[in-house]
């Protein structure tokens, strides 16, 4: 066992003390020896090489040189003084320079004694100098831990101001290794280590902090990344297995009249193979006696609504109710009208419940829901209210689930003694790596083909200078009887500015597209709900040809006759938003277009986003680029990023390690679900500690 307790407060470590400990706690969350051990460096400075002064190049990065100081002097300059020292070796000389802390430095420097200096050389007037070098006596340098690649630790301005420099942190970590004799408990069994040729735990920790070579650093990183991802996946898969064992669901074993009649007589189009596959997966889930918990991913327009409806009909055939919850009123209303039309021939009652439902209607819905006379309810967050009581809710469908918090979803389950089956739908494609990490405890279905007859949307990028040509193209499309969206950005902080942009845009469009030849709708966040509804409705009915809007139309507006989407200031939108907006067109059989309008000044990231949109219509490819640009926390919104608080792994760059770790965790649990076999005791012990602490790195050491 370790000679010291890794849960000891960091203040007890030699060289830290109470003040530094407070700074480390507040700035980096380092409370214990364990936390310090798991504070992994961000990068490394290569100290494997010693330069001679005559080998220094003008473009040199940080380097180290061995030599002696021959003299020290103060030099006056415009403001105050600087301290200079001449530093020589057997090939030449250079100057060492200090602008701060001169008194202390002058008193402590020794003449004609060998030093190792480290820093970034500057070239000026034919000679080199090194400002504020790190200095160590050669004798001390040879005594210390042989650090060939110097670790650079995470830091903040406050830490530097309090004197907790990189050197202080590095020394504290060295002290920790000396105190523990660099012995740490192994957390991965020999079988896994042999199979993947992983370094032992001790060696990995030593080489992540003080790598002896680039090769050992790579091996240490691989080992620690694998370990982190393996235990997270083990946790997610165990959760999934337990839920299937523990949470009994309703068994829907009937495929009855509702489902069959709709499938045989009223299906508006032939289902794609992807839709059929997903329906089979859903039927198998709901037919088993475990609760379904499935994520359905499908790009805009891939036909998730039909799958949702047929799943609801299965619930009805088995004597249960179903509900669908959407994040906005516009989307909920859209679902309601779409389902109402599809259900008409079947004569099945369906209702819509949102914040603007009138009191009388609301009471009526509550009564019929509780008595069981209302089998299907569509709505917004209003479904979560305590007054909403179902007779027997068998299936809950949640659309665009990343907009609902975990607590909100749980509220829906509590409407029943037995939790309903759950189908979570999203049109925001989630890259496989992210899905494995965020939703590893859900089963995942993907609709990855569009219904036949849909033509891919043609996307182009145009600069503001081409506006007249773009307006000409709009007129051509309207002549063909098509409709057009023109969307302006909406960014909360600058609402007044956005409103002005929208109104300026609206006025210039009204000038170029005058009445009575053209009719224009306008929709924005400052309008009353009924005015928005009225304007939307005019556009849906084809009374207006142009819809000028902010991003309120991002999700859910379905106008098959709209064939052109123009996105103004497209550089101000994120990739997934651009993709969602583009998905508003291309819903009919006509060729549709998306035009991304921008000024000439674009950041590299904006260029990448626009190029990606022009290059592909594939939501999964777009999501992968988005993930690489923005990182996982931003992609899913902050409320989802907790699970991704990774110390060393990166689910974008390390997606191969993630897939390997998940694979291994799956195999291990398939063979030994309770981790009871003797060879899995180490994994079980580590896993139990993880479950207790909730964070892999708070105890692994």
For residue range 502-547, list pLDDT tens digits in order.
Answer: 888 888 899 999 988 999 998 887 788 788 888 888 888 899 999 9
Crossing angle between the packed helical segments 655-671 and 214-246, to the nearest 10 degrees: 50
Give the residue among 442, 327, 325 at the shortest CA–CA distance from 395.
Answer: 325
Of the three residues 447, 469, 485, the one that is the final residue of a domain is 447
- Label each residue of 182-228 as H, E or C: CCCCCCCCHHHHHHHCCCCHHHHHHHHHCCCCHHHHHHHHHHHHHHH
Place 97 in a pLDDT band, splitting at 50, 70 and 90: very high
Q: Give residue 552's pLDDT.
A: 62
- Number of folded domains that form the chain: 5
Q: Tell me the CATH number at 77.
A: 2.40.50.140
Q: Do 384 and 434 sit in the same domain of this protein?
A: yes
Contact 159, 54 (CB under 8 A): no
Q: Give residue 639's pLDDT.
A: 36
Q: Tell me the CATH number at 414.
A: 3.40.50.300
Of the three residues 447, 474, 507, the one that is the final residue of a domain is 447
Place 689 in a pLDDT band, splitting at 50, 70 and 90: confident
Give the residue among 250, 187, 600 at the shortest CA–CA distance from 395.
Answer: 250
Tell me if 163 is assigned to some domain: yes
Q: Do 498 and 438 sit in the same domain of this protein?
A: no
At residue 571, φ and ψ (nearest 5 deg) are -70, -15
- Cα separation of 433 and 430, whole Å? 8
Tell me if 582 is assigned to some domain: yes
Q: Do 375 and 477 sit in the same domain of this protein?
A: no
pLDDT higher than 80, residue 303:
yes
Crossing angle between the packed helical segments 201-209 and 166-180, to the nearest 10 degrees: 160
Q: Do 56 and 41 sit in the same domain of this protein?
A: no
Contact 177, 206 (CB under 8 A): yes
Tell me if 627 is assigned to some domain: no
Question: Which residues are within 8 A (CB) of 232 and not within 5 positions of it... i.e. 6 or more apart?
Answer: 437, 440, 643, 696
Q: Do 537 and 568 sit in the same domain of this protein?
A: yes
Q: Do 353 and 421 sit in the same domain of this protein?
A: yes
Q: Residues 98, 103, 108, CA angle at the centre, nearest 5°?
A: 90
Contact 292, 421 (CB under 8 A): yes
For residue range 125-177, list pLDDT tens digits in order.
Answer: 888 999 999 888 998 887 766 667 889 898 888 888 888 888 899 999 999 99
Give the residue among 698, 694, 575 at the shortest CA–CA distance from 642.
Answer: 694
Question: Which residues are within 8 A (CB) of 373 and not within 5 positions of it... i.e. 6 or more apart?
Answer: 349
Tell me if 151 is assigned to some domain: no
pLDDT higher at 165 or 633? 165
Mean pLDDT of the chain: 85
Of the three residues 407, 424, 447, the one that is the final residue of a domain is 447
Q: Do 287 and 400 sit in the same domain of this protein?
A: yes
- Cα separation of 577 and 595, whole Å? 14
Q: Do 274 and 368 sit in the same domain of this protein?
A: yes
Contact 86, 127 (CB under 8 A): no
Sheet arrangement for strand 593-598: 458-463, 593-598, 562-567, 483-487, 546-549, 520-523
- Residue-number span of the structural domain to which 568 is assigned: 458-616
Alpha helices in 80-184, H assignment, sequence order? 102-108, 138-143, 157-161, 166-180
State the pTM of this model. Answer: 0.64
**Up-side HSE of residue 537: CA atoms within 13 Å toward CB?**
8
Tell me if 4 is assigned to some domain: no
Q: Do 464 and 520 sit in the same domain of this protein?
A: yes
Tell me if 452 is assigned to some domain: no
Contact 486, 594 (CB under 8 A): no
- Cα separation of 19 and 3, whole Å? 26
Question: Which residues are within 8 A (CB) of 57 and not within 5 positions of it... i.e. 6 or more apart?
Answer: none
Q: Do 39 and 54 sit in the same domain of this protein?
A: no
Q: Which two tokens stand for residue 28?
A: 């980096």
Q: Do 298 and 441 sit in the same domain of this protein?
A: yes
Q: Do 349 and 285 sit in the same domain of this protein?
A: yes
Which residue in the block uniquely carries the two structure tokens 């830091």? 155
Length of the chain measured in residues: 701
Q: Give residue 643's pLDDT.
A: 43
For residue range 446-471, list pLDDT tens digits in order.
Answer: 888 877 777 889 999 999 999 999 99
């Amino acid at each position: 066992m370790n000679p010291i307790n890794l849960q000891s407060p960091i203040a007890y470590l030699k060289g830290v003390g109470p003040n530094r400990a407070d700074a480390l706690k507040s700035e980096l969350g380092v409370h214990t020896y364990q936390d310090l051990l798991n504070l992994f460096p961000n990068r490394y400075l290569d100290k494997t090489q010693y330069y001679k002064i005559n080998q220094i190049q003008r473009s040199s990065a940080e380097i180290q040189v061995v030599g002696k100081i021959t003299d020290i002097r103060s030099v006056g300059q415009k403001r105050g003084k600087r301290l200079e020292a001449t530093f020589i070796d057997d090939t030449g000389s250079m100057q060492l320079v200090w602008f701060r802390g001169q008194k202390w430095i002058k008193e402590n420097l020794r003449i004609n004694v060998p030093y190792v200096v480290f820093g970034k050389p500057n070239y000026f007037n034919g000679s080199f100098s090194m400002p504020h070098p790190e200095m160590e006596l050669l004798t001390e340098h040879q005594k210390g831990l042989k650090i060939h690649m110097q670790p650079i630790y995470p830091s903040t301005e406050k830490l530097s101001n309090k004197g907790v420099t990189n050197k202080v942190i590095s020394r504290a970590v060295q002290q920790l290794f000396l105190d523990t004799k660099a012995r740490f408990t192994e957390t991965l069994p020999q079988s896994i280590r042999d199979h993947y040729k992983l370094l032992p735990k001790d060696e990995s920790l030593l080489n992540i902090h003080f790598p002896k070579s680039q090769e050992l650093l790579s091996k240490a990183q691989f080992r620690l990344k694998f370990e982190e991802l393996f235990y997270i996946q083990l946790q997610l898969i165990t959760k999934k297995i337990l839920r299937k064992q523990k949470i009994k669901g309703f068994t829907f074993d009937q495929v009855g009249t509702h489902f069959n009649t709709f499938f045989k007589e009223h299906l508006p189009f032939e289902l794609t193979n992807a839709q059929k596959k997903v329906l089979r997966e859903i039927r198998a889930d709901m037919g088993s006696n475990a609760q379904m918990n499935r994520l359905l991913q499908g790009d805009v327009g891939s036909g998730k609504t039909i799958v949702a409806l047929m799943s609801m009909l299965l619930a009805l055939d088995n004597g249960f109710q179903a509900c669908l919850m959407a994040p906005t009123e516009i989307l909920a209303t859209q679902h309601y009208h779409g389902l109402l039309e599809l259900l008409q021939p079947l004569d099945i009652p369906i209702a819509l419940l949102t914040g603007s439902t009138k009191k009388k209607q609301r009471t009526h819905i509550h009564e019929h829901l509780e008595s069981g006379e209302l089998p299907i309810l569509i709505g917004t967050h209003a479904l979560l209210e305590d007054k909403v009581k179902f007779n027997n809710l068998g299936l809950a469908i949640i659309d665009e689930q990343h907009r609902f918090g975990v607590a909100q979803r749980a509220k829906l389950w509590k409407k029943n003694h037995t939790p309903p089956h759950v189908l979570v739908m999203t049109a925001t494609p989630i890259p496989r790596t992210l899905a494995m990490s965020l939703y590893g405890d859900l089963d995942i279905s993907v609709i990855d083909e569009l219904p036949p007859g849909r033509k891919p949307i043609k996307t182009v990028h145009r600069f503001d200078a081409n506006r007249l040509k773009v307006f000409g193209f709009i007129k051509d499309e309207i002549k063909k009887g098509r409709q057009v969206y023109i969307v302006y950005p909406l960014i909360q902080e600058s609402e007044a500015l956005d409103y002005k942009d929208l109104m300026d845009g609206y006025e210039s469009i009204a000038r170029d597209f005058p009445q009575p030849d053209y009719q224009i709708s306008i929709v924005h966040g400052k309008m009353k709900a009924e005015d928005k509804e009225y304007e939307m409705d005019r556009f849906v009915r084809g009374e207006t040809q142009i819809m000028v809007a902010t991003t309120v139309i991002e999700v859910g507006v379905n106008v098959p006759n709209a064939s052109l989407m123009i996105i103004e200031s497209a550089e101000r939108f994120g990739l997934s938003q651009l993709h969602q907006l583009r998905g508003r067109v291309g819903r009919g059989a006509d060729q549709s277009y998306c035009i991304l309008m921008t000024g000439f000044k674009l950041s590299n990231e904006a260029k990448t986003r626009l190029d990606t949109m022009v290059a592909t219509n594939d939501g999964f490819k777009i999501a992968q680029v988005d993930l690489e640009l923005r990182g996982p926390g931003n992609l899913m919104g902050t409320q989802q990023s907790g699970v991704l608080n990774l110390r060393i792994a990166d689910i974008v760059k390390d997606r191969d390690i993630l897939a390997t770790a998940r694979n291994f965790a799956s195999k291990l649990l398939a063979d030994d679900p309770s981790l009871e076999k003797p060879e899995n005791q180490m994994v079980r012990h580590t896993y139990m500690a993880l479950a207790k602490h909730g964070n892999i790195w708070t105890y692994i050491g």
